[in-house]
Structure 1
């Protein structure tokens, strides 16, 4: 079988699996269901993937990479650190809204996860944290931000985002989420104190 045909089968299996996982979840999706949806024999699936877990991991890795690329693209042309973080968060929320099963994985507690997922989730979180660090480092280097403990500040921003993204993703329309994101970033970047109170 040619490489092109092999790739077509593989992509069909992944597309069918992604749709089924998004609709029914990992545990309720059987390999038989994937084969039927992809219009391939069950044995064909095992020519490309060792297990349902490997299919799921492949999808998660791919979608995580796509999300990070979309976040990086969204922040690329922004002029300030605050706007870069804003657009990064909005890109993440939009992506999660379109791919709810990735979001559901990301918000589960570690003990609730299938063991093979935790590593992939941690890698996505690490890359997101690195994006925030890059933004802060650029702001400090350009003298737009005061000297700060970048790793600690990045962790605080990531924690604030992760703590609020459930509502932004699943409970709110995008416009409302963006308004809350703007309020949060105003506090994170400018503080709560009145200017004259600091003088």
Structure 2
């Protein structure tokens, strides 16, 4: 059976791109002398996206189960969602336009992996747009009172939950694959030698 590398179905990067990960598995990353400030910051950003995404999913679930009233939920949720979406879009733009070209120059054999990651960014960007639209509908329906059908808020909540769940599932896969491609390269060459 042929392995697919679509974001929804892949279980990792293509094996022919993982030669450096075999040399530098995740267990050695934290203590490695070549894990510099840029790589540490980048990994922290990835962890922030994972943690904030999970926190927003938890908050949504608590609200939809009636554990958190609408006003406190909105005050907590809306600014965090805005921050998450804005920061993620900026993060991907910086990677596409600055870091990925630098990494490809450092190791051209990894170019297909960076093309795959750039394609992920396009898919995730479309997900971001879908999440924004679904969130706006969801929050508008939640505050609509008697002017909307009784099930409209639930349906809008379901649509938002589906859209945000899809985004986060894809993002988690993408972040792991990106790390598996980039961190071993940094450990192998060092940040200064790569040019970051």
TM-score by length of 1: 0.30
TM-score by length of 2: 0.30
